Structure formats: C-alpha cells, structure tokens
C-alpha cells in the first residue's frame, strides 16, 4: 500500500491519529520537502514519530518516483506532505503512477492553508479562485494573478494569495557545471507581496491616465485597499494583520510561511467584526 | 481557555494528536451536531476519547452560548466541530463571544470538505466560489446558486456544491405547540442535487426559446455536462463518480455525506486522466 499522508500546518502534533498509526507500521517513510515547508524541522518530526524519514526533494519526486514506489505492492510505504495531500499537482501525479503499477493507494487528509485561512474570520464560501504570487526577477515580472484578483472582486469574492517558495533551487551558474549548487531557500513575505502588488497598481495607473495609485478604479486595487496578512497559520506564533495595501509593504510578520488575502469590498458584518481585532494590532507591529 | 477543535472528515482517528491531547485535559467537551454530521456516531467518539461528550444542537449554540463558555476563563472547555472549525459562521460567532468575555481561545485545524475534494484529482486552485444547494419544497425553489456555477464556468473554474443537511428541524405543526417535535434528519444526495439542477436547466431552456435541455448554451449546464459526485470523502467507503448530469440523477452513492462538483469545461490533462478512473466505475454503479 502507498499512503499519502497530510501533516497539516506543521507542528508534529498536527498529524492525525490515523496518520501517525500508519507511519509507525510503514517500511519506508518519505518527507516531501519542496512544495511547502515544515516549520518545525525534520529532526523534531523524527523524534515525535520515533523513526527516520527520507527527505524527498523535487529531483527525487519528479525523476525517481519509481524508487519511492518500489515494493509498495507488498509493503507499506508512506509519503508525507505538509498540508493536505492534494495541495500540489505532483502528488496527484504520484497517485496515478502508483495506480499504473497496480499499487493500492490511500490518502490521509489534513488541514491546509486553503481551508485554515478561515481563521481570519472571512468565510470560506466567499472566496473565489486562489492565486499564486511568484517572485519577480529583473527580466520576469508576470502579473496575470492581478487580473484574477480583480475578477474575484468584481464578483464580490475574497482572494487567497499563496506566496512563492523557493527551496533547493539550483543556481544559474551551477546548471552548466557537473556539481549542482543551490540558492538559499526563500519564502515570500506579505510585505514583498504587497510591494509587487503596488508596482502593478502603479503600472495600471500609468496606463489609465488620470487614475492615481491611491484611487481605486472600479474593482481594481489601490494603495488604500484593505488586505489581510497571515503568518504561520495554525502555530502558536500565528499572526494576522488587517491593514491597507501600502501599510502592508512596511510590515514584518516574522518567519515563514506567509499568505495574503484580498477581501472583497462588501464584507459581511460578522466578517468585519472578526477582522477588526487584527486591525487593532497594527500599531504594535508597524 | 476555550478550544474549537476540528474533527476532520469523521472517523474517530481523523482527529489530530494535538486535538486529542487537549480533549483529554478539558473540563467539558461539546460536540456540535447540526452544521455537519458525524459518520461514526457519538458513542464511537466517546469510546475513542475515553470520556463523555455534551451534544450541542442549534438551539444550544445559538441561544445558550453563555452556558457553553461558562467558566472558560479559568478551566479548559472544548467545542468539537466536524471538518475544520471555520467551516460555519456560527463558530466564528462563538469565538467573538468568547473574546468579548475576555476568554482566551485556541483553534485546532483539520481537513474539511473544502480542501479534501482535491481527492477527485481536480486542482484546488482551479475552484471558484463554493455554492450550497438547498432542499426545495413546494413553495420555495431558490436557484441563485445556478448563476454562481455559470459565473465560475465562464472563468474556467470548477464549482464545489455543498448539499443541504437538515438535522433536528422542528416540524411546522410543532412550532405552534409547547412541545417541539422534530423531522427525521435528511441529507441531500448527489441524485437529488442533480435532479434540482436538471429542473433549473429545463426552466432556462423554456425561457430561452430554441435551446434544448441536451444542448449546452454558452457556459450554462446541459443534461450532458460532466459532473462529479462524491460520497463519504476520506472514509474507507468513499465513492467518487464522474458522469453526465442526467446520469447522476439515477445514481445511488449510498449513505451521507454527499457533495457534487461541476468541473470547468477545460480540464487540465492530469485532471482528466485522474477523473477517468472514476468514470470507469460508472457501469458498476448505475
């Protein structure tokens, strides 16, 4: 049997009892390490489970999936994923490969950022399409996520923005060499995301003569749009902050992972009341 | 401390280790019993936790919240919720009431249908707004959810349809009497939901002369639209079926809970490949 087990939001105790029992009786246990990140670290997990884990980076999962699945027709193999098993396309692919080989599969679900964002009080069924905000570099500044945010606003929907994660990315120079060298891991912060959004707002304002960045054009964003920053959701050190887009640029919510929400313009009174408690913290954090 | 703890998808072992440890040291533990439903039953949970639970129905939560929160400034009280704590507005309200009373609150997240639907292979970030399909009666046939499905399709997004649950609803007659009497619980099945959708499609076809129910008008649904039915997600008896809207009307996926997905019209090849395994079962189930 091949198990894909969600670890939830990242404390070792966030695993379900079902998941923990399976891990204890598996022959091999892999820990996926590149689509999300473990706040607690591999050692703490190994200590909690009382066993060794095999780290599975992108190269292993995408190029050596056969190794991971080896023998799973007859022995139990587990593949651990931060959040829920179906958060990333790669894991769907792994399930299909297992089925092709006639290996039985089983899923153990858990919380993921996709449902845990409800902790800020915005109702999950008022969310539209989720977007990803990628790191920009000098030559590559994609902004198609902005149009999706605007489409959600137009329909009165909140947008969850997942912020980029770069883990074990080979350096450009090392791609030419025999020995791969890797860049240090990077996790986009809410202030970096806000900065990129503000650059897009400024560009759109330039394009539409007469619209200043502090004026919201219909359904678009402006410097004054209320947004919500979330850090380390589900952890003891969780932080949530509701402030304007331009204020968010100057905020430090601490260590990863961060997410951003663009709420719709017509908050339900209960959503508004719940958000207010996170707006009051603003002065302490800025 | 007042804890709101998600139970996940309903097996006793779906609780997280963190959640289980908290339950064991709480003074009182409530089990919310009306926004979702426990597949395993209260007794099985009590046996697994080794303690008694207090059943909290709608009347208790909405009218006697003070009783639930009583003493939580000094002792630990837990409130258990099927799925994730933030799935329903009521629980957000309970958090606010606790804060008003100066009671500290803590959340233990878990899987909910909102992220577990990924199990059918449709990518979570291709979902638009979630809709709820309510039970119709003779005089009340709301269909505003249909327009939301169409809006999602227009933007190339899947729609998760949550199906109605009626638990402990007072009978109309008993509302006049002193003693409340309750209707038997009802859980909308995928076939009931498909039937209501087909009635809407027929009505729209009548309204737009010349469009037959088996012809899809732009972005609308037709009898032939591919839809996905899910039953008991996350359980050993989970069933997923991909078939046409009109076929779904004649399907029996067994006991609750059921959910329905309307996939967008442009499936990603990996989504298509994954869905195919659930279409092959069609002959066995129909």
Q: What is the pLDDT of residues B149-162, one digit of tens each?
A: 999 999 999 999 99
Task: Tell me if A16 and B16 make a contact (CB, 8 A cut-off).
Answer: yes
Question: What pLDDT was estimated at residue B264?
Answer: 94
Which residues 49-108 on chain B approach chain A with CB closer than 8 angstroms?
A: 84-87, 89, 92-93, 95-96, 99, 107
Asked if the model's pLDDT at residue A66 lies above 50, the reply is yes
SS3 A43: helix
Buried b (16+ CB within 10 A) or exposed e, B136-174: eeeeeeeeebbebbbbbbebebbbbbbbebebeeeeeee
Question: What pLDDT was estimated at residue B90?
Answer: 76
Instruction: Report the 10 Å Cβ neighbour count for A267.
Output: 19
Instruction: Report the 10 Å Cβ neighbour count for B254.
Output: 11
Report the candidate in B124, B260, B252 with the shortest Cα–Cα distance to residue A35: B124
pLDDT band, very low/low/confident/very high, at A106 (cuts 50, 70, 90): very high
Counting residues of chain B whose pLDDT is more than 70, the rounded percentage is 94
- Among A89-98, A153-162, B138-147, the minimum mean pLDDT is found in A89-98
Asked if the model's pLDDT at residue B24 lies above 80, the reply is yes
Instruction: For residue B175, say whether it is annotated as part of any ligand binding site.
Output: no
Instruction: Report the 10 Å Cβ neighbour count for B124.
Output: 20
Task: Tell me if B109 and A109 make a contact (CB, 8 A cut-off).
Answer: no
Question: What pLDDT was estimated at residue B97?
Answer: 93
Report the candidate in A179, A197, A201 with the shortest Cα–Cα distance to residue A189: A197
- Residues A6-32 have a mean pLDDT of 95
Residue with the larger pLDDT of the pair A135 and A206: A135
Measured CA to CA, the distance from residue A189 to residue A259 in angstroms comes to: 8
B86 vs A contacts (CB less than 8 Å):
115-116, 118-119, 121, 124
Question: What pLDDT was estimated at residue A1?
Answer: 96
Measured CA to CA, the distance from residue B41 to residue A269 in angstroms comes to: 35
Asked if the model's pLDDT at residue A286 lies above 50, the reply is no
Measured CA to CA, the distance from residue B276 to residue B60 in angstroms comes to: 45
Buried b (16+ CB within 10 A) or exposed e, A175-203: eeeeeeeeeeeebbbbbbbbbbbbebbee
Asked if the model's pLDDT at residue B216 lies above 60, the reply is no
Task: Tell me if B234 and A109 make a contact (CB, 8 A cut-off).
Answer: yes
Q: Which of A49, A95, A112 to mutate to test the interface with B (most CBs of B within 10 A)?
A: A112
Asked if the model's pLDDT at residue A217 lies above 80, the reply is no
Which residues 247-276 on chain B approach chain A with CB closer than 8 angstroms?
A: 270, 273-274
Measured CA to CA, the distance from residue A19 to residue B14 in angstroms comes to: 8
Q: Which of A1, A3, A8 to mutate to test the interface with B (most CBs of B within 10 A)?
A: A8
Task: Tell me if A114 and B109 make a contact (CB, 8 A cut-off).
Answer: no
Task: Tell me if A16 and B18 make a contact (CB, 8 A cut-off).
Answer: no
Sketch out chain B's domains with CATH numbers.
Answer: 2-111 (3.40.1010.10), 114-277 (3.30.950.10)
Which residues 141-200 on chain A approach chain B with CB closer than 8 angstroms?
A: 151, 155, 157, 162
Q: Which residues pair with B240 in a beta bridge?
A: B230
Asked if the model's pLDDT at residue B172 lies above 90, the reply is no
Question: What pLDDT was estimated at residue A157?
Answer: 95
- Whether B128 and chain A come into contact, CB under 8 Å, resolves to yes
In this structure, the strands spanning B77-81 and B2-6 are parallel
Question: What pLDDT was estimated at residue B239?
Answer: 95
Measured CA to CA, the distance from residue A8 to residue A87 in angstroms comes to: 11
Instruction: Report the 10 Å Cβ neighbour count for A118.
Output: 25
Q: Angle B222-B228-B233 (CA atoms, 0-180°, nearest 5)?
A: 155
Distance, first Cα to last Cα, chain A? 50
Report the candidate in A256, A4, A245 with the shortest Cα–Cα distance to residue A113: A256
Question: What pLDDT was estimated at residue A171?
Answer: 80
CA distance A128 to chain B (A): 5
Report the candidate in A133, A110, A160, A109 with the shortest Cα–Cα distance to residue A264: A160
DSSP state of B44: H
């Amino acid at each position: 049997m091949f198990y894909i087990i969600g670890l939830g939001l990242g404390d070792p105790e966030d695993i379900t009892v079902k998941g923990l029992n399976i891990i204890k009786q598996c022959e091999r246990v892999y820990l996926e390490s590149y689509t999300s990140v473990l706040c607690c670290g591999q050692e703490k997990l190994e200590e909690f489970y009382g066993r060794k884990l095999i780290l599975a980076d992108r190269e292993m999962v995408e190029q050596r999936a056969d190794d991971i699945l080896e023998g799973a027709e007859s022995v139990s193999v587990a593949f651990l994923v931060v959040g829920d098993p179906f958060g990333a396309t790669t894991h769907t692919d792994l399930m299909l490969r297992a089925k092709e080989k006639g290996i039985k599969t089983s899923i153990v679900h858990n919380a993921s950022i996709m449902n845990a964002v409800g902790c800020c009080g915005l109702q999950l069924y008022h969310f539209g399409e989720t977007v990803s905000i990628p790191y920009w570099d000098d030559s590559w500044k994609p902004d198609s996520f902005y149009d999706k945010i605007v489409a959600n606003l137009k329909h009165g929907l909140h947008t969850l923005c997942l912020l980029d994660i770069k883990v074990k990315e080979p350096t450009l120079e090392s791609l030419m060499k025999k020995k791969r060298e890797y860049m240090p891991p990077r996790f986009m912060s809410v202030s970096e995301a806000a900065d990129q959004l503000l650059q897009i707002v400024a560009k759109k304002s330039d394009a539409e003569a007469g619209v200043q960045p502090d004026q919201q054009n219909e359904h678009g964003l402006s410097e004054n749009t209320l947004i919500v920053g979330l850090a380390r959701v589900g952890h003891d050190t969780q932080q949530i902050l509701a402030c304007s887009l331009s204020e968010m640029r100057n905020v430090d919510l601490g260590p990863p992972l961060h997410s951003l929400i663009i709420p719709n313009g017509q908050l339900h009174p209960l959503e508004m009341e719940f958000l207010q408690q996170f707006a009051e913290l603003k002065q302490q954090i800025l």
